[in-house]
Structure 1
């Protein structure tokens, strides 16, 4: 994922969800980025460009021990 996309997603997550959210590039993947709340890993944002319009999918797992 390009740095400008990560900046836009970071601003979106901060604005819509929480200012502590941070979107970071993944070390070995270029089709996705990681989302954190402070230092806590929340999930992954994937690029979906199969359709005519580019979109992003956020995937977050919720562990039973966290509930």
Structure 2
């Protein structure tokens, strides 16, 4: 995994907002080196974004964390 630049963070945010239809989605730079880029919706962190550069092909992996307590009650 490699570091995500501020330009990439901005472009990822635009792309993900469009793809997911979530205007409240934000991609946030880590507060200090060594930490992950965070994915948030309306200020609540829901996951992380990681960059992979494999032989010049760049891709991004998004890990979304859902807690059972945040799910609606079972039917």
TM normalised by structure 2 equals 0.78
Larger radius of gyration: 2
Structure 2 residue matching 1:65: 3-state secondary structure: helix
Gaps of 5+ in 1: none
Structure 1 residue matching 2:57: 3-state secondary structure: coil
The one of 42, 58, 61 equivalent to 2:62 is 58
Name the residue aligned to 1:10: 13
CA RMSD of aligned residues (A): 1.7
Deviations 1:39-62 (A, max 9, x none): 111110000113441100000111
TM normalised by structure 1 equals 0.86
Q: Which consecutive aligned stretches of 4+ in structure 1 deviate over 6 angstroms post-superposition?
A: none
Gaps of 5+ in 2: none
